[in-house]
Amino acid sequence: MAILPEGFALPPLPYLVVLVTGLVGVGVGLFRRRPSVSAEHVLALVPWMVSGSAFHVFFVVGLLPPVVEPFGGTPAVYLTVAILAGVAVLGLDAFGDASPRNIALPGIVLAGVLVVLALGSGLAAGTLSPLWPTIALVVAALVTPVVWRLVTRLDPEAKAAGALGVVAIFAHALDGVSTAIGVDVLGFGERTPLSRIILEAAGALPTADIIGVGWLFVLVKLAVAGLVVALLADYVREEPTEGAVLLGFVAAVGLGPGVHNLLLFTIVGA
């Protein structure tokens, strides 16, 4: 059984060397300078996550120049964005002002430029279709406080996860709802093997012809996200830095695919 998502492939060797060298360089720089890391600093990386999703959409639809294209594939895009964000943090720290606001700002600019360019390409091609992606975003935003309230009612200690916990739940709600709409409404497929198994299981149920198959994926995503946030809350309280980084990773795992889905569905249409 396949484990990795479809399209998962290492870039050509020269690009891989550049990425590994850049990642090692950034890692060494961060280790030596040891900039401050708090929940706010991790939250400041959210725009960079959005940038990575948008950059990968450019790769998927073939909008990247050939010389840049290998940096946008999977898993290269994760390394590319990590290096860019790391360089930004190191540069800001060198000038003594690596505040969350300053870390977020270049990520916001980059994400904004990429999203506008992507939307422009969809508009130019006549395929711009924002309705269902907007619905997915609104539903995810409405579901998030409900799940957060449920998690903190079942486990009051989960409140220690704070804003990062809420963002993590929203990220996976966005991934789940957008995937469900993509599969049940827009006719898109799912590239991740484990996700396909969940969708296939839902397809075997009597409800498949009535309400589709995406609902089970949404429930699983929300349940797992809520459980992980609750489990990590103690770690956040005891080891704030490490806990914040782990929660940030959990959020990125959901936010990356979720934003990718929204932008792709918007500019490709159905």
Mean model confidence pLDDT for the chain: 93
* Per-residue pLDDT tens over the stretch 28-67: 999 999 998 999 999 999 999 999 999 999 999 999 999 9
- Please compute the mean of the pLDDT values over residues 215-222 and round it to a whole number: 95
b/e map of 171-182 (b: 16 or more CB within 10 Å)? bbbbbbbbbbbb
Q: Which residue has the higher pLDDT, 149 or 192?
A: 149
In this predicted structure, the answer to whether residue 5 has a pLDDT above a threshold of 80 is no
- Residue 193: per-residue pLDDT: 82
